[in-house]
Amino acid sequence: MTRISVDLIETVTPLVQERVHEAARRLPHLQYADLRLEVTEAKGAGAENGTPKFSGDDQTLALGVRVLAGDRMCAPGYVGLMLGAADVPNLARIIGEALEQAYRRAVVNGEMKADAREKFGPLGEALADTRLHPVEVRQDTVGAVYRVDPRAMSLAEMVRYATDISRQVDAVDAGVKYNYVSTLTELSRELFVSSEGARIDQTFALTQGTCTVVTVAGEVSQDLYDALGHQRGWEILLEGVDEPLLRFPTFLDFALGLAREGVALATAPVLPTSEREVVVVTDPHYNTLVSHEIIGHPVELDRALKMETAYAGRSWLLGGLTEHQIGRRVASPLVTTYSDPSLPGFGHYKYDHEGTPARRVVHIDRGIFRGFMNSRQTAAIFGGEPNGHWKATDASLVPLIRMSNTVFDAGTRAAEDVLKEVDHGYYIAGHRTPSIAESRENFRISARRVYEIRNGELGRLYRDGGIAADSRDYLMNVDAVGSDFRLYPIPNCGKGQPMQTKRLGNGGPTMRSRARVIGR
Amino acid sequence: MRTIGELAKAAEEALALVTGQPAVVEVEVFAAANSALLTRLNYTSHIPCNGVEEPKSTESYGLGIQAVFDAPDGRRIGFGSEPSDLTPDGAERALAKARTAAVADPEFVSLPARSASPRALANYHDPRLMEIDDQSLVEAGWKITGGALRTFTASSRLAALAQDDDALRRLGLIVGGDVTILRERVAIASTAMPRAQTDETSLITAFVTAMVESRGAKGSGASTGTRLDHFTDEAGVEAAQNAINAIGGERVPSGVYTVVFGRQPVADLLNNIVIPACAAGAFYSSSTPFLGKLGRSVASRHLSLYDDGAMPGLMGSKGITCEGLPTGRTDLIKHGVLAGCLSNWYETQRLLRDPALEEKLGARGPAAEAALVPRNGFRFGAGGGRQFDSPPGVAASNVVLEGAEPLTLDEVIRRVGSGLYIGRIWYTYPINGLRAGDFTCTVVADSYIIRDGRIAAPLKANAIRINDNIATFLNNITGITKDVKGTIVWAADEVVYAPEVAVTGVHVDEIAGFMEELD
């Protein structure tokens, strides 16, 4: 038995296509079926306080099936499986059984939906057939981009590298009491096949470095975490990234910088909380999380259509099919936001997980709300063309509407000028932890560093602070947007039930607005 | 799903095979099969919907091998796993991965050794949950949705608000959530404990949120159990009724309030702040607010908190940990004093040998050993299950919070006089790192204003944010109710058996006034 490799996808594609089309022909009341098969070859290594802690070289094989079927009403059914090398010889049987099981669930679900529609009178009328908005059916193969093949990396070298960085972080200062450094490099290949005839074969390279540092000064601990990464090979950790939108130092410098920051913060005073709104200038790293939380999440159409009410929440941008903010002013004319899978980084892809060609969708155009990220199902309900944002963390899980690269667009001002114009205010640098209201109408996000601004200059450094505001007020109060746009990776966005943790991209430029600063 | 017998046989055979391999000093084989069946619910009266959105499942099984190897530069420890193969071939592949991955971790002491305590819990799963079919899975989802829709349909209050069918739908009645059935089977055998130990767990949960959206009214309901025959539409009915009860919610101004935290907020605060603060790793990394405080006061003397994975009938109970050690009770906070930590074998061994142990934990010697008994080495994956493909981490099981002076909720509310009852909070995080203890969250449902010692009016959902510190919650306690209920938090490993807790001096900020103007 050989080890699973991404080459398996090519080998089994005809079999998968045959199984899906055969099921579509054979099973009565089946209206649509799709299947995702994903192979990942990943290597990782981690070190703690200058000593090696783990490494791993593994391959995963995941399978996911969706069927829409039903006699009296059409409904969905799903199956997800994590497989191994021992399953490869039996793949035809396993795929056939998964299609049958998803079909059975869909048919039973459709029958019960029809019963409920009859039983609950006026409330039953909302129960509708499951429909997918048509998309162009594509057959395509998309290759990965990397210089150092993730599969070629030596595990021993990865351990040595992580341990060396951890050792150097430990040596930064006696105040560094703990650090954890981890690295990952992987190649994954995803096959999507649908009963409509789609066949999409996409391969992605991904490399990531993460660092956690705890610094202590007396009764104060500062625990900081940050990640760098890109859809490239190991070279990005050694050389950094210097692209127009995405820039990182080497992973060593990145980790050392985080440690030095932690040392400085542990002896800084706590930010005092302001009684009322003050002028705040936010840097691109901080705005990465702001764009994630108060732009990206509320423009996910599944959430806006209430499908996440019990988990990730709703969106203040949509009450019902005719009560929404589309066409209305929700931000200052200086604010434009969009999601764009064609940008580089963690949020890049050509097709989403139902084969929809991915494209840029503008959410806010010079302050006016324009629209949502969607899927075929939500587009069929709300209207509009599918824009390719239905994504799962792995093929065994049901996709959700997910951000690609969701960002604040660049403005025209020099970032230095945005700061220099401030008589008194606060400079909010580096994102830390978010807490967002249920419909994303209010937020509090802590920063890594907060500086007082006096007469256009950075003053005292504070720890344990951030800003809080109502989302619309904050966006409406933006009065300056810098030209220094940066894109950053978000390695751990959680959504769904069971929770799916996903990598994606966010970013923005320096911006100026008004908010309460909150420390203690 | 693979049977428990197949897993036990595989674990023992793999142990025998690996033990004889070159350079292998010590080995632990963990075989597991997991199945998560889940129906996601989504009903919206004003938007076309499926009612039951996603009947789905994820399944996996396989072997995980942790092995210690002799090497020229000393011992090395490595982990490898192989999915979907319980045969010797699978064991060989897992071992090969462990060998390749092995590192020279200087803090590694040994794989787990046999405990002096006996196992307390066995044969506690429901065989019917282990055999549930597709029809029953989908039926469970529709049972909950149906319970909520029946409650909405029968409500005279909704009928009074909506004079006709269209108006009823325009109220924006929402039912969301899920029914989850989790089935786990594990077997473990090791050099120190060569006879395979097995464990089999099943549970069913329903977690539901309902809304009358046009009125900004939101309620929730939940049910938990370990047996299929106990599963009813209770969670759907409760959520819909709570949403109806929340109609007419009022705003309150920013200020400092006495707050009765309901069960979900108590569970959320414990899950996101207090339980992580009690983990051995947080002491090791100097990131807990309880740093160096073992044996010292960290909370009101009214409060006791413990983890117990061996209590029969509780949802988070297991017979053994994923290290083959017996589960049991670990006192975390006893009458306000820090009493112990959640730990696994590795964390306990390295912390006990840490030169900074006393500085980090606050004690050494027998006191430290008693506080660090490794009863919580689990290999939980996202969404549940005991994963064969990861080494053990640290997770709580059943966390129980108790008060010293058992009170009814009415007594607690009378005592409060004027304040807020908070029934559901949201997005609760230690906003400035764990050790600082600062937390923030918004209030999203099931909440009320207390006036004159009684519930006076619903509190409007999504209209306040709590900005405070966990020390306020732990120390300013004026009452704890006597009844605890199993409460689950989204994406949490543990189940919190939470009472309601009254706390003085809680900082609250009014938020999102602009939402009143939206149409």
Residue A216 has pLDDT above 80, yes or no: yes
On chain A, the residues whose CB falls within 8 A of the CB of B422 are none
**For residues B188-207, average pLDDT:** 93
The least confident of A27-31, A420-424, B178-182 is: B178-182
* Residues B192, B330 within the same domain: no
Interchain CB distance below 8 Å, A108 and B433:
no
Residues B46, A310: C-beta atoms closer than 8 Å: no
CB of B224 closer than 8 Å to CB of B495: yes
Name every chain B residue with its beta carbon within 8 A of the beta carbon of A86.
Answer: 82-85, 87, 89-90
Q: What is the DSSP string of A118-149?
A: HHTHHHHTTB-----------EEEE----SS-
Of the listed ranges A411-420, B116-125, B160-169, the least confidently predicted one is B116-125
Q: Are the Cβ atoms of A51 and B106 closer than 8 angstroms?
A: yes
Q: What is the mean pLDDT of residues A22-30?
A: 97
Token digits of residue B12? 């023992």
The answer to whether residue B8 scores a pLDDT higher than 80 is: yes
User: Across the A/B interface, how many CB contacts are shorter than 8 Å?
Assistant: 327
Q: CA-CA distance, B240 to B177, in Å (whole number)?
A: 12
d(CA B137, CA B377): 31
Check residues A170 and B485 and name the one with the higher pLDDT.
A170
Instruction: Please check whether residue B81 is in contact with residue A82, taking contact to mean a CB–CB distance below 8 angstroms.
Output: no
Instruction: Find out whether A185 and A231 touch, Cβ atoms under 8 Å.
Output: no
| % of chain A with per-residue pLDDT over 90 | 98
Least Cα separation, residue A180 to chain B (angstroms): 10
**What is the mean pLDDT of the segment spanning A56-69?**
97
Identify the pLDDT of residue B383: 64
| B439 and B310 together in one domain | yes
| pLDDT mean over B289-303 | 97
The domain boundary, picked from B245, B267, B290, lies at B245
Banded pLDDT at B127 (limits 50, 70, 90):
confident
Non-local (6+) Cβ contacts of A451 within 8 A are A426, A427, A429, A458, A459, A460, A461, A462
Instruction: Compare CB distances from A122 to B49, B90, B165 and report the shortest one's residue.
Output: B165
Q: Are residues B488 and B347 in the same domain?
A: yes
pLDDT band at B203 (very low <50, low <70, confident <90, very high): confident
User: Average pLDDT in the B463-492 region?
Assistant: 92
Return the amino acid letter for B101. Answer: A
pLDDT in tens, A444-472: 999 999 999 999 999 999 999 999 999 99
pLDDT of residue B90: 97
d(CA A63, CA A295): 32
B49 and B160 in a common domain: yes
Same domain flag for B50 and B142: yes
Task: Please name the member of A126, A442, A472 whose beta carbon is closest to the beta carbon of B43.
Answer: A126
Helix (H, G, I), strand (E, B) or coil at B79: strand
In this prediction, residue B174 has a pLDDT band, given cuts at 50, 70 and 90, of: very high
Label the pairing between strands A442-454 and A457-462: antiparallel
Distance from CA of A242 to the nearest CA of B (A): 31
Q: Evaluate whether residue B63 is within a structural domain.
A: yes
Q: Which residues contact B60 (CB under 8 A, 6 or more apart)?
A: A81, A82, B33, B34, B83, B84, B385, B387, B388, B389
- Inspect the interface and report whether the beta carbons of B56 and A104 lie closer than 8 Å: no
Regarding beta strands A442-454 and A337-339, do their DSSP bridges make them parallel or antiparallel, or are they unpaired? unpaired
Q: Do B467 and A439 touch (CB under 8 A)?
A: no
Residue limits of CATH 3.30.160 in chain A: 7-40+60-137
Average pLDDT of the segment spanning B131-138: 82
8-state DSSP, A326: T
Considering the domain boundaries, does residue B115 fall inside one? yes
Chain A neighbors of B182, CB-CB under 8 A: none
Chain B residue numbers with beta carbons less than 8 Å from the beta carbon of A518 are 467
Cα A77 from Cα A499, distance rounded (Å): 19
Q: Of the candidates B245, B274, B296, which is a domain's last residue?
A: B245
Is A306 in Cβ contact with B44 (below 8 Å)?
yes
Q: Which of A238-247, A277-286, A300-309, B487-496 has the lowest mean pLDDT?
A: B487-496
Of B40, B455, B417, B430, which Cα lies nearest the Cα of B262?
A: B455
Calculate the CA A216 to chain-centre distance. Answer: 32
Q: What is the mean pLDDT of chain A?
A: 97
Q: Is residue B455 part of a domain?
A: yes
Alpha-carbon gap, residue A261 to A14, rounded angstroms: 53
| Cα–Cα distance measured from residue B373 to residue B117, given in angstroms and rounded to the nearest whole number | 11
Single out the residue in B210, B245, B280 at which a domain terminates.
B245
> What pLDDT is attached to residue B202?
83
On whether both B478 and B342 belong to a single domain, the answer is yes
Residues of A in contact with B391 (CB under 8 A): 54
**Domain assignment of residue B250, yes or no:** no
Inspect the interface and report whether the beta carbons of B284 and A122 lie closer than 8 Å: no
In the predicted structure, residue B392 carries a pLDDT above the cut 70: yes
- Judging contacts by C-beta atoms under 8 Å, the chain A residues touching residue B384 are 498
Q: Are residues B403 and B507 in the same domain?
A: yes
Residue of A1, A111, A440, A497 to mutate when probing chain B, most B C-beta within 10 A: A497
Q: Chain B residue with minimal CA distance to A212?
A: B285
Residues B90 and B223 in one domain: yes
**Chain segment B311-354, per-residue pLDDT in tens:** 998 888 999 999 999 999 999 999 999 999 999 999 999 999 99
Residue B226's pLDDT band (boundaries 50, 70, 90)?
A: low
Separation in Å, CA A91 to CA A81, A139, A360: 12, 22, 36
CB contact under 8 Å between B153 and A121, yes or no, is: yes
Q: Give the residue carrying structure tokens 């995941």.
A: A62
Name the CA dihedral angle for A166, B96, B390, A170, rounded to a multiple of 10 degrees: -10
Q: What is the pLDDT of residue B333?
A: 98
A498 upstream amide cis, omega within 30 of 0? yes
Place of tokens 């990952």: A184
In a domain? residue B77: yes
A313 and B426 within 8 Å at the Cβ level: the answer is yes
B172 shares its domain with B288: no
Q: Do B43 and A121 touch (CB under 8 A)?
A: no
B137 to chain A: which residues are within 8 Å by CB? 105
pLDDT score for B366: 98
Shortest distance, CA B442 to any CA of chain A (angstroms) = 6
pLDDT band at A509 (very low <50, low <70, confident <90, very high): very high
Residue A357: Cβ within 10 Å count: 16
Reported CATH class of domain A7-40+60-137: alpha beta
Residue from the list B56, B146, B177 with its beta carbon closest to the beta carbon of A116 = B146
**Is the pLDDT score of B514 beyond 70?**
yes
* Among the listed residues A400, A387, A398, A397, the one whose alpha carbon sits nearest the alpha carbon of residue A349: A387
Question: For residues B440 and B393, what is the distance between their CA atoms, to the nearest angstrom?
Answer: 27
Shortest CA distance from B489: residue in chain A: A311
Q: Write the residue in B220, B431, B511 that is nearest to A446 by C-beta.
A: B431
**Would B347 be classed as within a structural domain?**
yes
For A305, the closest of B47, B150, B382 (CB atoms) is B47
pLDDT at B382 over 70: no
The shortest CB-CB distance from B97 to any of A53, A58, A116 is to A58
Q: What is the pLDDT of residues A116-132, one digit of tens each?
A: 999 999 999 999 999 99
User: Residue A426: which H helix or E strand, with range?
Assistant: strand A424-436
- Checking if the pLDDT of B128 tops 80, the result is no
For residue A255, what pLDDT band results from cuts at 50, 70 and 90?
very high
Question: For chain B, how many structural domains are there in total?
Answer: 2
Report the half-sphere exposure of B342 (CA within 13 A, side-chain side): 27
Kindly report, residue by residue over A138-165, the tens digit of the pLDDT: 999 999 999 999 999 999 999 999 999 9
* Contact residues, chain B, for A313 at CB < 8 Å: 426, 444
Give the model's pLDDT for residue B485.
Answer: 87
Q: Tell me, yes or no, whether B192 and B326 share the same domain.
A: no
| C-alpha to C-alpha distance for A443 and A468, rounded to whole angstroms | 5
Mean pLDDT over all residues of chain B? Answer: 94
Residue in chain B nearest A56 by alpha carbon: B101
Residue B492 has pLDDT above 90, yes or no: no
The ipTM estimated for the assembled molecules is 0.96
C-alpha distance from A471 to closest chain B C-alpha (Å)? 8
Angle of helix A7-26 versus helix A91-119 axis, rounded to 10: 40
Nearest CA in chain A to B40: A497
* Digit-coded pLDDT (tens) for B27-43: 999 999 999 899 999 99
Chain A: give the shortest CA distance to residue B157, in Å.
16
Q: Which pLDDT tens digit goes with each residue over A308-332?
A: 999 889 999 999 999 999 999 999 9
pLDDT at A1 over 60: no
Q: What is the pLDDT of residue B99?
A: 97
> Average pLDDT for residues A477-481, to the nearest whole number?
98
Strands (E), B150-302: 173-190, 197-212, 217-225, 255-261
Contact A70, A110 (CB under 8 A): yes
**CATH number of the domain within which B105 lies:** 3.30.2290.10
Best of B1, B38, B41, B57 to disrupt the A interface by mutation (most A CBs within 10 Å)?
B57
Note down the domain range covering B194.
4-245
Nearest-CA distance from B164 to chain A in Å? 9
Whether residue B216 is found in the same domain as residue B86: yes
Report chain B residues whose CB lies below 8 A from the CB of A449. none
Q: How confident is the model at residue B494 (pLDDT cuts 50, 70, 90)?
A: confident
Q: Return the residue of B nearest to A100 by Cα.
A: B134
User: Could B177 and A310 be called an inter-chain contact, meaning their C-beta atoms sit closer than 8 Å?
Assistant: yes
Residue of A nearest to B41 (CA): A307
Looking up tokens 């790192």 gives B433
B430–A84 C-beta distance less than 8 A? no
Say yes or no: B422 and B295 in one domain.
Answer: yes
* Residue to test with chain B: of A51, A53, A83, A112, most B Cβ within 10 A: A112
